[in-house]
Structure 1
Amino acid sequence: MREHDGVTNWWSNLSPPEQAVRPRTVSVRTLSQAIENTLMDAFSHEALAVILPDEVGLRWMVPDATPADADTKRTLIKGYVAGTEVPGLIALARRILTELEVSPQLLRPLLAEYDRGGGVGSPAKNLIFAANGPKPELVLRDAVSNDIEIVRNAEHCLVYELEVPVDGLKFQHLIDWWRSHEGLPDELDDRAVGHRLHARLRASLAGNGAEELVFDAYAARYRAHSFNIPALIPQVYLHYDPYTARSRASRGESDVPLARQRMDFLILFSDKHRVVLEVDGRQHYADADGKANTRLYAEMVAEDRRLRLAGYEVYRFGGQELAHPGAGAMLAAFFDKLADRMK
């Protein structure tokens, strides 16, 4: 099979090569072309056959063919990146520039344009989530490096201490981490490990039926789309205030603790694109007696503005709409559209 033979068989579903131009937008097409041309200019076919799987760590993505079937450099590269979306291509482009001696001429403008495209500018760090007991107590172990340590109640929360990948935190990443964290045997397959992790994460929702509905609707996506999709992470600490309202009052202080110290759910679609999901119960906008509380509502919308200005996307679900019989279908459609937006 050759490129000029009418791009037949397994290659027929992939885009034909086009002459590379400096792109104005970051897309699968422009990123793929820049990666292909950068690698083709730098390496021989024989070198790419070794570099792509061994040094860059790519997997062959065409099920009915092997790398030996690709007899040109371009088709070889396409076979390793086929089906990869923008976040994954961005991660690959960064690795190529960091680890291989190649010209940055085609990739650097795309990376710069991507970095200007919004989202959160700083990398994710200190991912503390799924608390199912008393609030953890933290100290700054190294204030210069922003290294924290949980000195009390660590057993009631989870801490993902690994670097969050550029192309997002997938459920498969959490499964691999959970296997190591819990010392689970290699003989236990990913599905079994995933079920155990799912149960631990769900326990952090403390029987909140509306939040459990959201969590379960997203978990169904793991069955439909595999574990290699972004994870839905529950009860993620956003702010940390070591004091409670009671402790402040005992010291004669009238300030209330920081608002929204935990997010209901967080999805890390990439190193820049973070989506917050909030499930609004009555406590978000009403007093204990059920009367509307304008102060609570004002605090909620002010925090939403702050998050959006910081680069997060925020989506809210009303408790009442999740009590509707069609809530499951509504959530499934929402997650489909959200995933499409992030491609």
Structure 2
Amino acid sequence: MGDAVKPETLRSAIASAVAELKSYEVPDECVRLGLAPGNEGDAFKSKFRYVMHRLRPLAIPELTAVARKVLDEYEAPELEQVLASLGMTGVDGEFKNLIFAANGPKPEIVLRDAVNNRLDIVRNAQYCLTYTRPLGAAGLSWAELVSWWQETNPAVSGDQAAASGHLCERLAESLASPPEEVLFHTYAALYLREGGLALPALIPQVYLHYDPYTAKTRTAPGPLARQRMDFLLLLPHRVRVVLEVDGQQHYSVNGQANPKLYAQMVSEDRQLKLSGYEVYRFGGHELDQNGGPRVVAGFFRELFGRYDIPLPPAVSASSA
């Protein structure tokens, strides 16, 4: 979580940004940011100290959530730099579309309009899903993905619960291994509980790179590595979290360790992280039917705690 950055550094950067406001604006702004109210007269003595005092009880995860709210409203280069050192600035660039959950042959994609970056799937579109709704600052929740599914599937348009289950079944068709199934279905059990629809959608088999050639037809330098991500979550404030489930094919050939495969994997991880993505890996062995659900539940509890995403009471109790 960026141990080089101390909470006091983040507090100071937040306080400096808010202290750019007028003295009489600072108390209300602190309340808007979710901070405890104080004596308004203190803000006229020192805006910076007033904000620092409100921030004092907060640890890094809570401070990070406040910092993002500040950056949504103001230009604050110092604060942005501090968040960057924590690796929590999110991904730059405008969201265009998701192509995901392929359960059949690889889609064939053409760039229909290179000026406007318009993509069309000209073959095998029936085997994958494409989400093109605008993505807001809140990211992509399961409820929003279900709403989109209802819009594209009239048969379940009137029943959110039925649409949720139907979408779950369709996404599960794209899963590539039993460990992926454990991860996905454990998460589904969490977010399908009462109130859990507001949690981020767990999106399987998302195309990141796209190479129109197959491994057989692509010559040097070879096909693009890691064309699909095992899972993607689009969290608030442009935070994109990639989950990879590693079976033996990620690091060995015919049961023998393969340094080339491993080097390729860590190289791709570096590129993703430099682009602003967070990458978390699970070993396939730890996601067996016995201990896997506990591992998955504990991971998401900590991940969402880091980003101040509240878990519904039923989910919190079951993952404790």
TM-score normalised by the chain length of structure 2:
0.72
User: In 2, are the aligned partners of 1:90 and 1:166 still within 8 Å (CA)?
Assistant: no
Using CA pairs under 8 Å that are at least 6 residues apart, name the structure with larger relative contact order, 1 or 2: 2
1:331 shift after superposition: 1.1
User: Which residue matches 2:95?
Assistant: 124
* CA distance, structure 1, for counterparts of residue 27 and residue 200 of structure 2: 22
User: Which residue matches 1:219?
Assistant: 188
User: Which residue matches 2:269?
Assistant: 304
1:322 shift after superposition: 1.4
Q: Which runs of 5+ in 2 are unaligned?
A: 1-12, 19-24, 34-63, 84-88, 309-320
Moved more, 306-315 or 221-230: 221-230
Name which one, 1 or 2, has greater alpha-carbon Rg: 1
Q: Structure 2 counterpart of 1:217, which letter?
A: T
Q: Does 1:332 align with 2:301?
A: no
User: In 2, are the aligned partners of 1:124 and 1:271 still within 8 Å (CA)?
Assistant: no
SS at match of 2:137: coil
User: In 1, are the aligned partners of 2:156 and 2:162 still within 8 Å (CA)?
Assistant: no
* CA distance, structure 1, for counterparts of residue 17 and residue 190 of structure 2: 30
SS at match of 2:285: helix
* CA distance, structure 1, for counterparts of residue 161 and residue 233 of structure 2: 21
User: In 2, are the aligned partners of 1:123 and 1:271 still within 8 Å (CA)?
Assistant: no
Give the aligned CA root-mean-square deviation in angstroms: 3.0
Q: Structure 2 counterpart of 1:140, which letter?
A: L
1:148 shift after superposition: 0.6
User: In 2, are the aligned partners of 1:167 and 1:271 still within 8 Å (CA)?
Assistant: yes
User: Which residue matches 1:23?
Assistant: 15
* CA distance, structure 1, for counterparts of residue 237 and residue 143 of structure 2: 16
Query: 1:209 and 1:141, CA in 2 relative to 1: closer, same or farther beyond 3 A?
Result: same
* CA distance, structure 1, for counterparts of residue 167 and residue 81 of structure 2: 33
User: Which residue matches 1:266?
Assistant: 232
User: In 2, are the aligned partners of 1:90 and 1:167 still within 8 Å (CA)?
Assistant: no
Q: Deviations over 1:31-79 (max 9, x none)?
A: 99438679xxxxxxxxxxxxxxxxxxxxxxxxxxxxxxxxxxxxxxxxx
Q: Structure 2 counterpart of 1:342, which letter?
A: Y
* CA distance, structure 2, for counterparts of residue 110 and residue 255 of structure 1: 42
Q: Structure 2 counterpart of 1:244, which letter?
A: T
Q: Does 1:257 align with 2:227?
A: no
Picking from 140, 154, 161, the partner of 2:132 is: 161
Q: Deviations over 1:94-133 (max 9, x none)?
A: 6xxxxxxxxxxxx324699459732211132221110000
User: In 2, are the aligned partners of 1:205 and 1:234 still within 8 Å (CA)?
Assistant: yes
Q: Structure 2 counterpart of 1:167, which letter?
A: A
Picking from 161, 168, 183, the partner of 1:198 is: 168
1:290 shift after superposition: 1.0
What is the identity percentage for the equivalent residue pairs of Structure 1 and Structure 2? 47
* CA distance, structure 2, for counterparts of residue 174 and residue 127 of structure 1: 11
Q: Deviations over 1:224-268 (max 9, x none)?
A: 5420111000000000001112112xxxx3322000000000000
Q: Which runs of 5+ in 1 are unaligned?
A: 1-20, 39-84, 95-106
Query: 1:119 and 1:22, CA in 2 relative to 1: closer, same or farther beyond 3 A?
Result: closer
Query: 1:225 and 1:315, CA in 2 relative to 1: closer, same or farther beyond 3 A?
Result: farther
